[in-house]
Structure 1
């Protein structure tokens, strides 16, 4: 009788072990949450983009928005084009 039982258990092992593992896992999951308790709700955190935007708004808050640097002033510091580096400058 034992050889028949072991042969059947080996053939139907997935059908036997899956429900047992499912029940053990479900009981363990609910037992863990019962012991641990419900977690507190997470605080609303701002994204990195929102933090950066808030910081930049704070920086602009004290200054005058109409006083900006000219584009001509900004062009002084731009490097020469890479293709013109090896050409002799015209005098």
Structure 2
């Protein structure tokens, strides 16, 4: 009797598993809905934060303080100083 039951279960496994999985998923969805908080607070996007930061940096910058062209501070001394993040630049 047991081997015949296994043959039936193996043959009809997709028809048995799908409804069982659907019932378990539905129950889990309802339990999660009862237990979780559905409120998500608003946050600015990263692009908006970046634009505000760049605008603030540009407004704080002194436009009258300009380096002379004779000193050539815009030319890197070594190749390692070529593409460095502004936060890593050593100000001397």
With the shorter chain as reference, the TM-score category is: 0.5 to 0.7
> Per the alignment, do residues 68 and 53 of structure 1 end up closer, same or farther by CA in structure 2, a change over 3 Å counting?
farther
Gaps of 5+ in 2: 79-92
Q: Cα 1:59–1:19, aligned 2, differ >3 Å: closer, same or farther?
A: same
Aligned length: 78
From the CA coordinates, give the structure whose radius of gyration is larger.
Answer: 1
- 1:1-91 equivalences in 2 (<5 Å): 4-33=4-33, 35-47=34-46, 50-75=48-73, 78-79=76-77
Greater RCO, CA 8 A, separation 6+: 1
SS in 2 for 1:73: coil
The unaligned stretches of length 5 or more in structure 1 are 81-91
TM-score normalised over the length of structure 2: 0.54
CA drift of 1:14 comes to 2.1
User: When the two structures are superposed, what TM-score results if normalisation uses the length of structure 1?
Assistant: 0.55
Give CA deviations for 1:6-58 in whole Å, capped at 9, x if unaligned. Answer: 4222211221112111121112212320x2255113312331x5434433432
